[in-house]
Structure 1
Amino acid sequence: MKNKMTPVRLHLELSDDYLSDYQRRMLKRYGESSDGKSITRDILIPSDMPLHNLHYTIQKLFGWQNSHLRRFILPDDIYQQLTGNTVKGWANLVGVLFQAPSEATKDLFWDDDYKSGSINTWLRKKYTGPYVYGGIMEHPEIAKRDIQELLERFETIEVQESFDSFLARKKSNKNAGAKVLKTDSLINLTLDEMNATIFLEGGTESLLERLEVNKLLASPDEELTSDEWFPVTKELLYNYDFGDDWVVKITKPHDCEDLLEQNRLGEDELEEARNTVIDKHKPVCIHKEGISVLDDVGGLSGFADFLGTIYEEDNKEEASQARTWARSFGWNAAKISCKKML
């Protein structure tokens, strides 16, 4: 297996397009972000790493503690292209690309068994191979059975108007009720019609976490064709904590030449990282820009405000309380070398 496994580079960018000028300054001044808009990591992963184990890798890389929901999704244009925005198009891909409707409430978190001790040690075990996916709902035949049960349950369904449409009518008529647009089978609906009519806890966009990252993602110069299922995209999105709404954009550069040319990485360091990936079956961070964040801080904008509080707040007691609160989430301002990130 080690002979077949190869190191694969990923570039991960945690960003927010809606930061204020003040928040950008704080990220540049104290968060070690060069552009004030993002925190990035470049890593090498084993070529057989599934999305499930990449999740734990991302948690460790950015300083989170696996305490909220997450999902891997495709960019909207790719998702629309693959599904045609139809229930039928989505249903055909359940068990192939997308999670089954019941997965969010059953066994997506089949190995989230942390109880005590070092969270970092626990995370390390999760992203170190060999990789085995133990969830039940992601088996293709079980996923297909699950989606078929959903379709059969709604052979006839009253299609509701969208919530936005209902609110628009409610403004002009306070007594307005939800409008039924038509009656049809679920399989004949668009995804918009289905989502306006029934609630699926896990939605329809979440990717199967058993899928291997390297097979799912294409490099920039790799062509995406309709002849093969994989790869399906040149960009992947990791969404963590739906309240704070952290979003990490994941791409797969063809090689590491840009880091070498910019002297951000040495040839000897790259060789050592490659050997570690193969010999220890684990990912390695080869370049980072920006410090670690933390849970429950309010996303990247909240983190920038937090940095402003602890470094520039005139009220020393408030700054001290903010630091103490952050330390309760395992956060500290100490610089960590790339080698020790994972």
Structure 2
Amino acid sequence: MDKSNKNFTPVRLHLELTDAYLSDYEKRMLNRYGETLTGGSISRDILIPSDMPLHNLHYAIQKLFGWQNAHLRKFQLPDPVFQKLTGGTVKGWSDLVGTLFQPPSEAESDLFWDEDYKSGSIHTWLRKKYTGPFIYKGTLEQPEIAKQDMKEMLNYFTMIEVKESFTDYLERKKQNPDTEMRTIRKAPLVELTLAEMRSAFTLEGDVENLLERLEVDKVIAAKTEEIQDNELFPVTDELIYQYDFGDDWTVKITKYEDCADLLHRNLIDQEELAEAEAMVLDKHKPVCIHKQGISVCDDVGGLSGFANFLGTIYESEDRLEKSEMRAWAKSLGWSAQKVSVKTLL
């Protein structure tokens, strides 16, 4: 990537909206009408400023895929990475709260500190959110406050009763309907596994949630970059972004050292790449350089629901159903009109 005299540089990310459980019909609809090659995913390749936090990347992802920022979201590590870092224990997790993971008390009121959209164009509002300079003002994510929040939680739960699993309880209940759940052991919260903690009580957030103040470029390593065991950052070569936990949209995020593969496949040329890099540096904002697949919309039932939606509006013989479905999608900001990569962000 081109360097500059600024304190940030362009960084290339590949974002892939996936669903491992798509049916053959759904893949066919995405391939036929969703402008995807395989029907298995919708993807975007972008350049971002290297100082962009996860928080601001969220807003860019919303714009890139056509959502309206209407639901909850989270950034997480792949489970094998999370398990390796924490050992699956409360202590392993708590030691990284404030450094990598969100504190237990972080909730909507703090995470959504800049959710100030009231009216007008949602696209204009989103654009302001993913354009620098980037300043994170969420209180609980400040390291000292996050660690204090974690400490208070550990001090509060000085002794926890660890119950048997619900599955074991149901098995015993078949034999004896009057049986009660067994207590396996008692221990301080810090000595429990995360599974034991989850069985004891429910947190408002999720222990896997990453701090959104963290810079994307520091968290994630390029595919060709080695991750050092003696260093915390970069921590992974893949990030997972989830949006709308009911529809369960999942975007896998990877980083590349350059755009050689896009150039080699003739998906972008040197002049276009230079123009995109200049835009990142001059405007302090991300730029889309390649896309595969059309925009989706909210409340459609995830990627599989969107595939079925395409099947309905293009292949249904029921004209009223097709018309009503299109009108509903339009009310959510969806359009079948093609959008160029230059205007996507």
**Secondary structure of 1:89's aligned partner:** helix
13, 20, 24: which one pairs with 1:21?
24
> What CA distance in whole angstroms lies between the structure 2 residues aligned with 1:19 and 1:271?
37
Q: TM (normalized to structure 1)?
A: 0.98
Residue aligning to 1:102: 105
Q: TM (normalized to structure 2)?
A: 0.97
Going from structure 1 to structure 2, the CA distance change for 1:309 and 1:136 (only over 3 Å counts) comes to same
Q: Deviations over 1:69-123 (max 9, x none)?
A: 0000000000000001000000000000000000025400100111110000000
Residue aligning to 1:218: 221
Residue aligning to 1:307: 310
User: 1:173 offset after TM fit, Å?
Assistant: 4.3
Residue aligning to 1:56: 59
Residue aligning to 2:188: 185
User: 1:3 offset after TM fit, Å?
Assistant: 1.9
> What CA distance in whole angstroms lies between the structure 2 residues aligned with 1:258 and 1:170?
58
> Structure 1 residue 268 and structure 2 residue 271: aligned?
yes
Unaligned runs of 5+ in 2: none
* Equivalent residue letter for 1:58: I
Q: Deviations over 1:171-191 (max 9, x none)?
A: 554444332211110000001
> What CA distance in whole angstroms lies between the structure 1 residues aligned with 2:79 and 2:93?
13
Going from structure 1 to structure 2, the CA distance change for 1:40 and 1:94 (only over 3 Å counts) comes to same
User: 1:167 offset after TM fit, Å?
Assistant: 3.9
Unaligned runs of 5+ in 1: none
Q: Deviations over 1:216-247 (max 9, x none)?
A: 00011111112211000000000100000010
Residue aligning to 1:43: 46
Residue aligning to 2:239: 236
> What CA distance in whole angstroms lies between the structure 2 residues aligned with 1:182 and 1:98?
28
- Does the aligned pair in 2 maintain the 1:48–1:213 contact within 8 Å? yes
Residue aligning to 1:288: 291
Which 4+ runs in 1 deviate beyond 6 A? none
Sequence identity percentage = 63
- Does the aligned pair in 2 maintain the 1:217–1:232 contact within 8 Å? yes
* Equivalent residue letter for 1:222: E
User: 1:161 offset after TM fit, Å?
Assistant: 2.4
Going from structure 1 to structure 2, the CA distance change for 1:59 and 1:174 (only over 3 Å counts) comes to farther
- Does the aligned pair in 2 maintain the 1:161–1:193 contact within 8 Å? no
| Matched pairs, number | 342
81, 92, 96: which one pairs with 1:93?
96
**Secondary structure of 2:223's aligned partner:** coil
> What CA distance in whole angstroms lies between the structure 2 residues aligned with 1:74 and 1:144?
20
- Does the aligned pair in 2 maintain the 1:9–1:44 contact within 8 Å? yes
**Secondary structure of 1:103's aligned partner:** coil
User: 1:130 offset after TM fit, Å?
Assistant: 0.2
- Pairing of 1:146-161 with structure 2 (within 5 A): 146-161=149-164
> What CA distance in whole angstroms lies between the structure 1 residues aligned with 2:271 and 2:113?
39
Residue aligning to 2:7: 4
